[in-house]
Amino acid sequence: MKTETLLVELGTEELPPKALKSLGLAFRDGIIDGLQQRELDHGNVQWFAAPRRLAVIVEELVLEGAEKAVEVLGPPLERARDDQGNWSAAAAGFAKKQGVEPQQLEAIDTPKGQRLGLRTTVAGHNTSQELNAIIQSSIQKLPIPRRMRWGASREEFVRPVHWVVAMLGEDFDHGDILGVATGNTTQGHRFMSSGPITLNRAEDYVDALYTASVVAGFEQRREMIREQVTAQASELGATAVIDDDLLNEVTGLVEWPVALTGSFEARFLDVPAEALISSMKEHQKYFHVIDADGKLAPHFITVSNIVSTDPQQIIAGNERVIRPRLSDAAFFFETDKKVPLAERIPALDKIVFQQKLGTLLDKTERVSNLAAALALEVGADVALAQRAAQLSKTDLVTDMVLEFADMQGIAGSYYALHDGEDPEVASALAQQYWPKFAGDRLPETATACTLGLADRMDTLVGIFGIGQPPTGSKDPFALRRASLSVLRIIVDKNLPLDLQKCLDLAVAQYPEGTLKQGTAVQVLEYMIERFRAWYEEDNIPAEVFKSVSARKLSRPLDIHQRVQAVHAFTQLPEAQALAAANKRVSNILDKLDSAHSFGEVSTNLLVEPEEKALSESMQALSTSFQQYLERDEYSQALNSLASLRAPVDAFFDGVMVNAEDEALRHNRLNLLKQLRDLFLGVADISLLAVAK
C-alpha cells in the first residue's frame, strides 16, 4: 500500500508563549485523532511549535484506507417470507433501505439466531480528500479560550494566520484553511532569514527551517536553552536555577535561542531574594543564578532570539531594563520596614474578604481564635499561634506585596523578623500558604501548621456556609486545594485532630446566623471525600476507601491509617473469602426487622461443632484485637482476624442460621452480629467483596 509523508504547518503571528506547548500537543493529537477516525494507518508522528508556527509531520501515511467489510442486519430470518413464500414487508423494506433487491440479501448467523442481512465491502477513505476536514477539525479542538479575528476576514484563531503548509507527498493543494490557501511555502526567522522557503518534500521541513535560523522542535529548543543557560552559569562558577514553567515560556518566545549573562549591583542583594527573583522571572523572563552556598548571585541569564554581532549591547540593554525594577523592590522594602506589621492590623478592616463574611480584619480575628484552639489540640504554643494569626494578612497592605503579589507571606516573614517578632512567628507567616500545589512542601513548625489549618478551615466553613461550594469546574476560592492541604498537613504531620470538632470550632467563630445550619457537617463530608482522589493517585482501589468511609469517621489521620491497613489486608489470601463472608453476614442481618434486638451469645445454645469453633476462635482473639484497636494498630488487628477464615467458612458450610428453633436462630444471629462488629472495628470489610 502506497504511503507518503504528511506535513501540516500553520504560520502565524507570535503565539502566546505560555500556551505554546499545549497548543502544539493539541494540534498533533487532533491530526492523529482525525486519521484514526478515518482508519488511515500511519507511522511515526512528530510535532513542532515555535513562536510563529504549529506543525505536525506524519510519516508513512497511507494514501487510501483499507477496504472494509460491512455487515448490516435486518429482520429475523423466519420473518423474511410470508406463508406463500413471498418476501415479507419487513424484508422488502430492509432491502429498499439498503438500495438492493431482496434476492441480494443472505442469512447471517448471530448469537440470537439467523437474521436476514447484507454483506458489502466499503472503500477506505482517501487521505488527500479528507485532509482539509482533518486539519479544520484539529484547529477547532485547540484549547483556545479566546479567539480573534483579523483584517476583513471572518476566520477566528488565537493569532492571525499568514501561511498554511499542507503537503502530502508532492501534493500541496488541499483547499483553504482559516482563509488561507494551502501550499508548500513557509517562512524562516523573522529577522535572520529573508524571503519565503519553498519545500520540495515534507521531509525537508526541519533542515530547511534550521538553515533559516528556526529550531522548529519545541523540545529541541527547550533543551538548547537549558544547556546554554547551564553553561553560562558554569562560566561564572555558579548554578542557574531553571524553573520548568519559565523554561517553557522562554522556549515559546524564541525561534533561535542565544543565552547571554548580565549583572546587577550587589547592593540589591540586601533586598529579599524572593522579590529580586520575582522581578527577574515574572517581568523579564530571566533565569537567576545562585552561588556555591545557595545564595542569590548578582547575575542573571537572558535568552535572546537573535545572533548579534555585538551581544554586549543586548546585555547592556537588559541591565538597564532590570535596574529600575530592582530599585523599586529595594525602595518598597525599605519603606515597608518603617511601619511595623502590628500597626498595619487596623488597615485590614478596609479590605473585604467576602461581602457576607466581612473584612480581612474580621477573618484575622476568627483565625486567631481558631488557631489558639487548634494549638491546644496539637500541642503548639498558643501565644505564638495567636500572634502569627494576628499578623498573617498584614503584608497584604505593604507596597512590596502590592507590587509583587507572589511575595505574600514571604514579605511578612522578613518584616516580622525586622520588627523583632519571634522567629517561629516569622516563619509561620511564610509557611501559612504551604502546600501551594500537589506535592509541594508542608509547613515545618507547629505554629505554621496551626495557622495554615485555621486559615483554610475558616475559609471552608465560611464559603460553604453562605451557599457557595465548588460546582463543576468552578472553584473561585480554591476550596478543593484547601481541603487537600488540610488533609495532607494532618496526615503527614501525624496530628490527632478530629475534623468534626475543628470545623465546629471554626463555625463558632462566626456571628450567629451568618452561616447556614449544618455547615460543619457538609464541609466534613466534602473534605473526607477529597481522600478519594488522594488514594486514586496512590493506586489504592476505590472499595478500600469506601470500606473505611462507611464507618463515618472524622479523624483524617485515623482514616488514613485504616485505609493503609485495609489495603494491606486485601493482599492476604484470606481477604476475599472473609470479605464475601462479611457481605453474606451483612445481607442476613440487614434483612431482619428493625425491631429485632441483639444480645450476648449463649454458649449453652451453641450445639453444632462449627458454631462452637467459630465462637471460641472469636473469643480467643477478642482481647488482643481490642488492644490493637486502642493503639491504632489496624494492620495487626486485621491480620489477627485473617485467622477466622477457616472457622467462618466451616460455619456457613455446616450451620443453618435460620433454624426452626427460635432460641437457636436468635443465638446464631447474635454470633454473626458479633462477627460483623469485630471487622467493623476497622472497616466495613463486606464492601471489599468482588461481585460475581
pLDDT digits (tens, 9 = 90+) for 82-102: 888 899 999 999 999 988 998
What pLDDT sits at residue 474? 86
Q: Are 319 and 284 in contact (CB under 8 A)?
A: no
Please state, in angstroms and rounded to a whole number, the distance separating the CA atoms of residues 429 and 394: 10
Range(s) of the chain covered by CATH 3.30.70.260: 3-65+126-211
* Nearest-5° Cα angle at 196, 194 to 201: 130
Please state, in angstroms and rounded to a whole number, the distance separating the CA atoms of residues 565 and 20: 45
What SS3 state is found at 602?
coil
CATH topology for 3-65+126-211 is Alpha-Beta Plaits (3.30.70)
Please provide the CATH number assigned to the domain covering 573-688: 1.10.730.10
Reference 563, options 606, 593, 590, 532; nearest CA is 532
What pLDDT sits at residue 432? 97
Phi-psi region of 179 (alpha: psi -120 to 50; beta: other; left: phi over 0): left
What SS3 state is found at 408?
coil
What pLDDT sits at residue 354? 93
pTM value surpassing 0.75: yes
Range(s) of the chain covered by CATH 1.10.3210: 341-539
What pLDDT sits at residue 140? 94
Please state, in angstroms and rounded to a whole number, the distance separating the CA atoms of residues 346 and 361: 7
DSSP letter for 282, please: I
Distance of CA 13 to the CA centre of its chain: 32
Sequence-distant contacts of 359-365: CB under 8 A, at least 24 apart:
360/393, 360/396, 363/393, 363/458, 363/462, 364/389, 364/390, 364/392, 364/393, 365/509
What pLDDT sits at residue 217? 97
What pLDDT sits at residue 665? 86
- Cell digits of residue 588: 442476613
Q: Which CATH class is domain 341-539?
A: mainly alpha
Taking 70 as the pLDDT cut, the residues of the chain under it are: 594-595, 690-692
